[in-house]
Each structure stands twice: as structure tokens, then as C-alpha cells.
Amino acid sequence: MSAASRIALRLDGVSHAFSGTQVLSDISLEIPAGQITCLLGQSGCGKSTLLRLISGIERPQAGRISGASGLLSGPGLFVEPEERSIGFMFQDYALFPHLTVFDNIAFGLRRLPRADRATRIEETAALIGITHLLPRYPDALSGGEQQRVALARALAPRPQLILMDEPFSNLDQGLREKVRSQTLAILRDFEATAIVVTHDPQEALAMGDQIVLMRAGRIEQSGTPFDIYDHPVSPYAAEFIGPCNRLTGLWQDGHLETPIGRFPAALDLPEGSLALACIRPQALTLGEAGEGIPARVLSKTFVGESEQIELLVHPLGEPLRMHSHRRIPAPVGAQVSLLTNNAEVHIFPREEEDTTAPAALSGHN
């Protein structure tokens, strides 16, 4: 059986509350072995709390959590964190300042004989590229070096599962992308099963074999990065994973009628009812005069790899956002012809919804 076909962790109906406030509700999820699963969501959605329940730092109040070797928590049973073969890499790295890098990594290997411990540390350090850092102390390391040491400490015991809570959030943007790429390569080299918590959709898309999008203590959608991006199940999912233009239109004969076009969708809606279109900015392009919908260029912003353009279309009250990877010669104020790629238009029943996380959950990520 391949690693991808094995299940490293299973959650069934897991729920949890703090001081009467429900933080997680009926979470059921499978984590494939040898893959990276990203728990994605805004602050307060419960993703970090879920990580703590998996690790055993917190006890779930309902539901079951099972690992590859059997039940970890459930009615009448709770396996302590140190017995779970789970590595945890904290957001602040939690390195011991009074210990060298060597001794920080050794901390999780106390059950190994001394000689085996030294061999394991040297092997892990070599694989992660930090052998030269072993005699140093944490305060002599850069942010990226501290991150790699924390990763080495989590991986050195060869856990069945590694948990990473916002592992790149303390790094500046340029370093974050470099360290993320290095970390991804290391996890692949170790064939590690990892759960990574992040609030950054681009990070989840770049790292995850599976993405679990959370919202207010529940799973909104789970699937591959392509599933999540190309086939969002709700306006919330569509907008969280990437920018969208929202348009309301009338449902007629299997299509949504809007001021910028008529879009088909496989929805069972009453004729004449309102529905919602979420349209990616890159779905909009400019055509030849008279080829599409008349529009006017309101603004243009050059951001290096693309141009971001705002377009006014009558009778819409809000401008449409368009991203183009080629230069648009039309100046601000010009009349243009707007085309839409239907493949990047997502249609949903129109519902009144709040896309923000409940304030009551803001302390429990």
C-alpha cells in the first residue's frame, strides 16, 4: 500500500469549547500519510485549537481522534502527548535559549542511548543543512536559521506526524518564501506527514497536497489546491482563496443573467430568483471594439508581473477588478470592450452571510 493511500490520522465528530464558547463543531477529517495538509482560515476559526487537540495538549470534549497505531482520544481513553509519536513545531519555535542547537535537538531524543542520539542529531542536521549551527546558541541565529533548527528538533524523533503552527509568520516576506520552499523540500525528503496551520491562502496553495478551509469552528471545504481554487463550494470559499468580483443576477433557464454576461451553472434554482456570481479578476480580459460589454477604465496599477485595472460597467455601482499579465495600452478614462472567461466564474445561490469570524472566537485560532 502506498503512503498516499494510507491514513495517518482520522478525526470523527470532534468538538471543543472554551468557557462555554464553541470553538470547534463536529470536525471529521482524514489526514493521508506522506502528504502535507494545510489547515487554512482566518484568526478565530479554530485551526490552532484543532492542532492542540491532535497533539494531546488539549483534550477534546467530544469525538474521536485516531492515529496510525490506534485510538488517541475518545470516550474513556486519552493517550498523553509524549506517547503519540507526534512532533509539534510552535509558532515562536520555542527553542531553549540556554541550550546549544545540538542540545535543543537532543531534547526530544532523551529515550535514545547517548551514542544513537548523537548519530541521529548529526544525520538530521546534515539533511536539513544546519550541521554548522550545532555548537551555536539560539540568540546567535537568524530567524530563518531558528526556523530550521525548530524543524530539525521536530523531525529528529522521526514522528509519525508533524504539526506546524504558522511556521513562517515570524519571518519577513522575502525570507518567508525562501524558508517555506526549503521547508517543503525537507518535508518531502523525509516523506513526512505534516499538518500546517496557516492564514495565508497562497501559502496553503503552495504547500498543501490537501487544504482544509475552516470557518467559525467548522470545515467549509476540503480538497486538493486545485479543487479548492477551481471548484469553491461557497462564496466564502471562493473569496477566501483568492480575490473575486461579486455580481448579483437573475436566474433564467439554467443561466445567471448579469450586466456583464450570461453564465451557465448546474444549479437547481427557481426561475427568476436571485443568484450570486463570484468572478476572478483574471477571468476578465479586453477584446476588440464591439466584441464584448462596454466598459470604462477607472484606474490602472502596475505591480511588476501584472497590471491591476478597475473598470466601470453600467449599471453596476461598484467597479470590477481585472488582473492582466500583459500590458494594457488603454489609458485611464478610455472606453473598452470587456470579455469574461466563464471557466473562472463561480455561481452560487444568493444567501445573506457574514464572511467575518465571530468575535467570540478571536482568542482561539
Residue-wise pLDDT tens digits, 26-47: 999 999 999 999 999 999 999 9
Degrees to nearest 5, angle at CA 50 with 48 and 54: 115
Reported pTM: 0.89
Q: What b/e readout covers 296-317, taking b as 16+ CB neighbours within 10 angstroms?
A: bbeebeeeeebbebbbebeeee
pLDDT value for 290 = 82
DSSP for 44-74, written as a single string: TSSHHHHHHHHHTSS--SEEEEEETTEEEEE
Is 77 in a helix, a strand, or coil?
A: strand
304-352 residue pLDDT tens: 888 999 999 999 989 999 999 999 999 999 999 999 999 899 999 987 5
- Domains of the chain and any CATH numbers: 3-239 (3.40.50.300), 243-349 (2.40.50.140)
pLDDT in tens, 2-25: 554 699 999 999 999 998 899 999
Q: What's the whole-number mean pLDDT along residues 104-111?
A: 90
Mean pLDDT of 223-241: 96
Average pLDDT over residues 134-153: 93
Please state, rounded to an integer, the average pLDDT across all residues of the chain: 91
